[in-house]
A = this chain, B = another copy of it.
């Protein structure tokens, strides 16, 4: 997930210190690894979009140390994989004494394409402050330049803006201290015979690894914080791979400890310093607090955690049910919109209905686990919601669910109704036959996040081949395009798509894109 544009500065938040203390007690340890570039690309003239790749010369790191650089020269260090952490390089001057400061621009890129885009020309609506670009003066050489900020990258580009006419610079021992709270040693040995699936699995694991910092960050490049939508999926992938549940506990306690005074779980929490809830609320994300707690409890049977957070889960359901009318139709207020996907091309009301059903079913199981007295009323609400969905939203002539006043038929609605278990298993299978027939090839879905739910629905509805095929064509296409980690947004029909109007600030390592590790483990092994 990432930035959505809500401003609600008047919202007051609870800060439940007992829950926040448990969040702090579950802060995972960061493991650090020193990595070095695998190769260096030299570019002795200014970069332009068209010529960037054409005039590169490739060197080893050893050869780099023997070269010298002057005004407008630039080098690109390729660390060979995606890393999150801190960069350092040794710099010395050669020639006459250093009669001026050294002035450098250093950029960090997850994919090489970012280096072909000009920061000055950035016209998207995300803050320019997210650009991983620093301008640095060094008054004394030799020096070990150790940048204090954390970056997310495979490539580090160093441009010499100027030395002086009397001296040049040499760069040596470039290092990256990579960090993650995921421990590779925890990863189970996995035999995936299908080479393409194996590759997708490995990249998914890498994506998850990179996003596992002191919380599950949505993207370690940007926004570097905890979103509930990402947490929901990253936790599932974690259980299937590293199985480090401490970080999940920490994240759930953070959300639980920071609800708004009307009880809603915020969509995102800032964790750079003391945790701060954002004034952004998304209906589906609030419901996914229930789902994440449900998945966690299913995986761990941790009763303490369930008892600590059950109350918060119940609030989300109770608040959601307030907007269900007597017929069983969910009508959300504008202050609590549903996200589903970055695409705005489809109606999302039926998705919201299904997501409430999905969460309510999970909640009822949690309620049973804690011995809730009043389960019956929730079961009645569930029945009402399902009844409305099958009677009013399902178009039996089309064999598909419709959405909104215009009775729009879209893929996301079918997917979420399957995941919500609104239809019996054979009917779900038939629904997805019809969905594939009518609504494939997929159009207007732009995130691996929503693609995850499509694939999950296909698996759940017993379309194993179609599910595996979609997983291979969608995530596999990113692999073909050179992904080291999976991207925040990807529309195979529009490779230039960005949710932000300009791809320079897109995140190319995003938690919600790592779910093939979960899907493959659950369905393909």
- Give Cα A163–Cα B130 distance, bound, in whole angstroms: 10
Residues from chain B with Cβ under 8 Å of A270 in the complex: 97-99
Q: Which of A7, A100, A140, A165 has the most CB of B within 10 A?
A: A100
| Contacting residue for A101 out of B7, B127, B135, B140, CB 8 A | B127
A149-B139, A223-B99, A278-B97 given; A162·B3 CB < 8 A? no
A53 contacts chain B at the CB level, 8 A cutoff:
no
Q: Are B7 and A166 in contact (CB under 8 A)?
A: yes
Whether the pair A279, B7 counts as a contact (CB closer than 8 A) is no
Cβ of A470 under 8 Å from chain B: no
Residues of B within 8 A of A99 (CB): 3, 223, 225, 270, 278
The CA-CA distance from A270 to B129 in the complex, in Å, is 36
Q: Decide yes or no: A127 and B139 within 8 Å by CB, A5-B165, A95-B7 being known contacts.
A: no
Given A134-B137, A140-B273, A272-B140, answer yes or no on A164-B127 (Cβ-Cβ < 8 Å): yes
Tell me if A407 is interfacial: C-beta within 8 Å of chain B.
Answer: no
Cβ distance A501 to chain B, nearest Cβ, rounded Å: 13
Whether A103 sits at the interface, judged by CB under 8 Å, is yes
In the assembly, what is the distance between CA of A277 and CA of B97, in Å?
8
From 139 to 194 in chain A, residues with beta carbon under 8 angstroms from any chain B beta carbon are 139-140, 149, 161-166
Measured CB to CB, the closest approach of chain B to A156, in angstroms, equals 16
Cα–Cα distance between A320 and B126 once the two chains are bound (Å)? 65
Instruction: Select one of B5, B100, B129 contacting A103, CB under 8 A.
Output: B129
Of chain B, the residue at the smallest CB distance from A268 is B99
Contact A161 B279, beta carbon cutoff 8 Å: no
**CB-CB nearest in chain B for A103:** B129
Contact across chains for B129 and A101 when beta carbons are under 8 A apart: yes
Q: Which residues of B contact A130 (CB under 8 A)?
A: 100-101
Contact mask for chain A residues 109-122; partner B; CB cutoff 8 A; 1 contact, 0 none: 00000000000000
Of the candidates B7, B162, B272, the one whose C-beta lies within 8 Å of that of A127 is B162
In the complex with contacts A7-B166, A135-B135, A126-B100 CB distance below 8 A: yes
Residue from B9, B102, B129, B279 within 8 A of A129 (CB atoms)? B102
| Partner of A7 from B96, B103, B273 at Cβ < 8 Å | B96
A8 contact set on B, CB distance < 8 A: 96
A477 at the interface (CB under 8 A from B): no
From B9, B96, B163, B225, contact of A95 by CB (8 A): B9
**A392–B28 CA distance with the chains assembled, in angstroms:** 88
A323 in the interface (beta carbon within 8 A): no
Q: How far is the CA of A222 from the CA of B139 in the complex (A)?
A: 12
Q: What are the residues of chain B within 8 A of A135 when measuring CB–CB? A: 134-135
Flag if B9 contacts A96 (CB, 8 Å): yes
8 Å CB interface, A259-287 against B? 270, 272-273, 276-279
Contact present for A139 and B272 (CB under 8 Å): yes
A279 touches B96 (CB 8 A): yes
Measured CA separation A7–B279 after assembly (Å): 60
Contact A125–B165 (Cβ < 8 Å): yes
Asked if A279 meets B127 with Cβ closer than 8 Å, knowing A135-B134, A140-B273, the reply is no
Binding site for B on A (CB under 8 A): 3, 5, 7-9, 71, 95-103, 125-131, 134-135, 137, 139-140, 149, 161-166, 222-223, 225, 270, 272-273, 276-279
User: Could you give 18 example pairs across A and B, Cβ below 8 Å?
Assistant: A3-B100, A3-B164, A7-B95, A9-B95, A96-B278, A96-B279, A97-B270, A97-B276, A99-B225, A99-B278, A100-B126, A102-B129, A127-B162, A127-B164, A129-B137, A129-B162, A129-B164, A134-B137
Known A7-B95, A135-B135, A139-B272; further 4 A-B contacts with Cβ < 8 A: A125-B165, A127-B164, A129-B163, A137-B149
